Each structure stands twice: as structure tokens, then as C-alpha cells.
Structure 1
Amino acid sequence: MPPPGSAGGPGDFQFNPRNAQDIFAEFFGSSPFSFGSMGHAKSMRFQSEGPGLFGGFGGPENVFRSYSEGVGVGGGVQARKAPAVESKLTCSLEELYSGSTRKMKISRNVIDVNGRMVPESEILTIDVKPGWKKGTKITFPGKGNQQFNQLPADLVFVIDEKPHEVYKRDGNDLVINQKISLAEALAGTTINLTTLDGRDLSIPVTDVVSPGYELVIAKEGMPIAKERGRKGNLKIKFDVKFPSRLTADQRASIQHILGD
């Protein structure tokens, strides 16, 4: 038997492991991974995960091209994420006051297991929370269209408010403009309202309504989304309707009542 390390007969061989860099240098005279001028380590070694000297890259020129284009070892593409797709979700003030559940059917393109682009439909559920404001965003990750070599986009719904016939929103407050006559402004009146959740409010006005007067009803505004149980205020702004003309007797009566 030949001593260890010596050549044997035809059935014996000696394994001398060498890396890809050494083999390339032997054939071409230099290493494609030398970066001595960059001040870093003088060589980089890639572990082959597929056939060929460079693990599927095909040659040194492809190594550099793939490295700059974000292709991983073995030729795998590092997919980029497509930009998010935004869509408006218009809600009534009633929905934003009490909350609601919305069902949205979407259609999008996806890549199936065979690598083909196919259409797909899906129903998404959106739980609208009480107090959400215009501009609130609800994101469904990866529910947008898919493209080759890209991760599917996120689908984003943006809350929008539908105009209301009676109420106008001002942050967490609700505002109404109420028309009253001059007699009501001076002698008092009662404002009857239906709230956004269906309750009936009867609001007495006992003060003299002067120009710029505003009546504030505490805790009858919008729910505050981040402060459970709290609400804004209801603000009533008055528009006093003056009579277009007065009779002589009416003028005399007013002068008698309001005179110094």
C-alpha cells in the first residue's frame, strides 16, 4: 500500500479542493473579484448554488452586471415593490359618526403558479371606526396588481366625507347654520334637531341672539377616534332674518318696547 499522500494505482486518487477564484486565475491569469484599489478585501468568494463556475451567472462579466442590478447568488432576482395604489372611500357623516362595515369588491391581476398573468376578484372588508376623519388611510398590503419581477402593490383606501344637508364637520365638532326671525332672536325660540345617530334634540334658545352669537352644546359633536367615549361639541350659528318692512303701528310698538 502506498504511503499517505503519494500517488497510488489506477483506482486511487487524491482530492485537492480549490475555490472558483483559484481556478479562474489559473485559466485567465487574474481573479475577477480583486478590489485592491478600493481599500477593501482583495477578493470576494461566492458559493456556487447551481451549475457552472459562477453558480449560474455564466461568467465574470455577468457577475458584475448581476451584482449591480440586484440579482442574488444563483441568479435570483430581488423583486422590487410596486408603488401603492390609492382609492377614495366616500362615507356619509352618519357612517363616520356611528361606524360602519363596508364590503369592497376588487379586481386585480396576479401571477399564477405557472407564471401566467391572470385576473382575480376578491371582497375586502373595511371596518369604518366612529370618528374617522377625511384623509384617514386603510392599507391592504399586497392587494394591488402584480407584475413580473415586482412584488404586488399595496392597496390603500382614503376616507372622504360626503356633504351633509344639515351638519358640517369642523375637526371633532359639528356645526349647523340656523335661520331664525328677529322676533325669535329677541324673544327666544326652540331648535329641534335630529342627530347623526337618529336621536331627537330639543334645544331652547333663551339668550338674545345678537350678531355673531354662537350656541355651543357640549358632547353632541363627532366621536373622537383616539379617545373612546369622548365627543366634540355641537355649534349652532344663527342667521337672523330681519323683516323687509314694518307698519307704522309695528314701529311704534317696537319703539315703545325697546325705547330707553
Structure 2
Amino acid sequence: MGGDYYETLEINRSATDAGIKQAFRRLALKFHPSRNKEAGSAEKFLQLGEAYDVLSDLRKKATYDKFGEEGLKGGIPTEFSSQTGAWSSAYVYHGNPEKTFRQFFGSDNPFADFYTNELPLQFGGLEAGVTKNQDPHIERDLHLSLDDLFHGCSKKIKISRRVMNQDGCTSSIKDKILTVEVKAGWKEGTKIIFPKEGDQGPTNIPSDIVFIVRQKSHPVFVRQLNDLIYKTDITLEMALTGFSVDVETLDGRLLNIPINDIVHPTYKKVVTGEGMPLSQDLSQRGNLILTFNIQFPVKLSAERKQLIKQALANNKILMT
């Protein structure tokens, strides 16, 4: 609420229970949205409901008087906390001032004593015929390693949300564990939706919680869709004369891949079927693509230059 409950009800801290009730009756009737159309009346009516909900309850009022709004809503140590470490439950207003209003007057039409030609009031938080609206969905990133996305896994995520109590009016904050079954081959940006797992309230449909896959970087492979890119350094000699590359796959196998071609700067070696599994068909996989960083010598002696010239000249003769 962020204000003083006594100031909201326009009373002092020594007010009796009868005085609290009298103040709420007067102000609630004055600021009820059905009778007061001025800007801010609905917000004032909500504040009145919360203030009365606290000050009319002896335990809540005692906590508020001693520890203020922060202690009331944040929880305080109980009288036995030195033995048990227990804290009181945090107070959360149910957010339905109409409910507080109806409970106070004990009538479906508290304006009956001074009936006007206005339309009858509707209670319970929603007018008749009005449907609840769902809160906007909540997005959270789900960071997964490349190994998680290669093999698939199960991830448990703890969320905290507001849950309505059995009385249908008050609510409390509770933890819940959501389990995401990660399927092998999922890509960056995949969305997992948990319907209506957001905060509950008397007048809303809880929002959906949406987890979005974010792939962590890998020390060896770079993923491109369903392909895995593996980059390795080679010498100029290797690029010209051939070599083999050992690659340990994500499932623990060691591949020995011979390279018999001359490796130029844009050369790539494609190994079919050694990439990521396809989530829609786990029997299929993308490719493993080898790329190479050719390390040229920084400088050459005159003798080595001459030998290279001779080798290239001989190669030119063989090509003609």
C-alpha cells in the first residue's frame, strides 16, 4: 500500500474498534466506485479496504503497530523463534475491496437504507456477465548446455507465486517446482509453456509462464541449426600434404577423419550424420563440419624458399 493505515481511515492510533468501524463505514460509502466517479476514488476505495482489513484484526493491528507495514508484509520472528527459528507468515491483502465492503455491511446491498435510482451494485469483484481476463504471459530464459540439448535432460525450476487461500479472499506466496523435459535436438529460442502458473487472484486468470531456451557456448563445437562446426589449426605442410583429425563427439566416441584433399582457406570437410539430433526425428542427425585455420610460417630462409619454388615448379610440370 505504501501509506499509513490510520491516515487512510482518517483516525488516530488510539482509535477504538468502534471508531475504526465508524470511519470505514463513512469513507467506504463515500468512495465506493458505484457512487463516486471522481478520479482516484477506486484507488482510495482499495486503500480503505486494506486499511480496514488490517486494523480490524487484533493480531494484524498489533503487528502493524509494533513493526509497521514492512514487518506486517515481510514477516517477523514469532515469540518462540529462539527455539524454532519460526517467522510469522507475511500479510498479503487479497486485493478485493468489494469483498471487504460486503463482509463489513453483511448485506448484498448496503445502500438499501438510502436507496437511490442508481443501478443495483454487483459484488464479488466482478460485475455480472463480465469474464475474467488472463494476465500477460511471463517469459524466463532457460540456459542449457550443448550437451543438454544433444542428449536431452530433465530440468527442475523453482518458482514463487501468489496462491489464493481456501477462503477465496486472502492469498500467500508459495514455492512450486516446475519440471522441463528437454528433448534432444531442441534449438535456441524453443519455448516451453506452463499454462496458468502465474500469480493467482480473485479477479484474474493466472498468466502462463514461458521458458525460452538459451544455448550456452561450448568449448569445442559451434552449433549452426542441426550442424556442428569444429575448427582446428593446421600447418601449411599439413594443408598441402594431407593429415587426419581426431574429434571426440558429444556422445563420447572418437572419430579419426582423414583429410586427403589440399586444404585451402575456404575448404570444409563434411562428415554426414555426426551433428545434432533432429528433435522431430531422433533417428536423423545433422552434419559435423570441419573448418581449418592454416598457420603460415612467419618467415623463411633463402634456402627454404628455393626448395618451395622447386617443389611448386615440379607440381606445375606434373599439371601440364
TM-score (norm 1): 0.71
Which residue number corresponds to residue 98 of structure 2?
none
Is residue 221 of structure 1 aligned with residue 275 of structure 2? yes
Q: CA shift at 1:236, angstroms?
A: 1.1
Equivalent in the alignment of 1:55:
none
Match of residue 110 from structure 1: 163
Which residue is equivalent to 1:237? 291
Partner of 1:72: 128
Q: Distance in 1 between matches of 2:171 and 2:128?
A: 24
- 1:110 Cα deviation from its structure 2 partner: 1.1
1:188 maps to 242
Q: Tell me the secondary structure at the aligned position of residue 246 of structure 1.
A: coil
Matches within 5 A, 1:54-73: 61-62=118-119, 71-72=127-128
**Residue type matched to 1:243 in 2?**
P
SS at structure 1 position matched to 2:283: coil
Structure 1: tracts of 5 or more residues without a match: 1-50, 53-57
1:232-252, Cα deviation, whole Å (9 max, x unpaired):
111111111100011222112
Counterpart Cα distance in 2 of 1:121 and 1:162: 27
Give, as a single letter, the amino acid of the residue that structure 2 aligns with 1:102. Answer: K
Secondary structure in structure 2 of the residue aligned to 1:238: strand
1:171-182 equivalences in 2 (<5 Å): 171-182=225-236
Superposition deviation, residue 228 in structure 1 = 2.8
- Could you tell me how far apart the structure 1 residues matched to 2:221 and 2:159 are? 32
Counterpart of 2:218, as a letter, is H
Partner residue of 1:94 out of 142, 147, 150: 147
* 1:129-188 residue CA offsets vs partner (Å, 9 max, x unmatched): 010001111111111112331111111111000011111111111112221110010111
Q: Provide the identity percentage.
A: 37
Q: Is the 8 A contact 2:270 2:289 kept in 1?
A: yes
Match of 1:29 in 2: none
3-state DSSP class of the match of 1:120? Answer: strand
Measured against aligned partners, the alpha-carbon deviations of 1:180-225 in whole angstroms (never above 9, x if no partner) come to 1100101111111111222211111111101211110101111111
How far apart, CA to CA, are the structure 2 residues paired with 1:60 and 1:129? 63
1:126 maps to 180
Give, as a single letter, the amino acid of the residue that structure 1 aligns with 2:133: R
Hey, what's the Cα distance between the residues in 1 that align with 2:189 and 2:138?
A: 15
Larger radius of gyration: 1
Structure 2 distance, partners of 1:185, 1:62, is 88
Residue 83 of structure 1 aligns with an amino acid whose one-letter code is: P
CA shift in 2, pair 1:80/1:251, >3 Å: same
**1:139 and 2:193 aligned:** yes
TM-score (normalised: structure 2): 0.58
Higher normalized helix content (fraction of residues): 2
Instruction: Please report how far the alpha carbon of residue 59 of structure 1 lies from its aligned counterpart in structure 2 after TM superposition.
Output: 8.7
Paired with 2:175 and 2:134, the residues of 1 have a C-alpha distance of: 21
The unaligned stretches of length 5 or more in structure 2 are: 1-107, 110-114
Kept in 1, the 8 Å contact 2:126–2:203? The answer is no
- From the superposition, tell whether residues 218 and 59 of structure 1 become closer, same or farther in structure 2 (CA, over 3 Å): farther
Give the drift of 1:60: 7.9
Instruction: Determine whether 1:212 maps to 2:263.
Output: no
| Structure 2 contact 242–262 (Cα < 8 Å) conserved | yes
Q: Distance in 2 between matches of 1:173 and 1:93?
A: 12
Aligned to 1:149: 203
- Structure 1 runs (4+) deviating above 2 angstroms are 58-63, 69-73
Describe the SS at the equivalent of 2:309: helix
User: Is 1:248 aligned with 2:305?
Assistant: no
User: Aligned residue pairs: how many?
Assistant: 200
Q: Take 1:117 and 1:93, find their aligned partners in 2: how far apart are those partners?
A: 40
Q: What is the CA–CA distance in structure 1 between the aligned matches of 2:257 and 2:198, rounded to whole Å?
A: 49
Contact 2:146–2:216 at 8 Å: present in 1 too?
Answer: yes
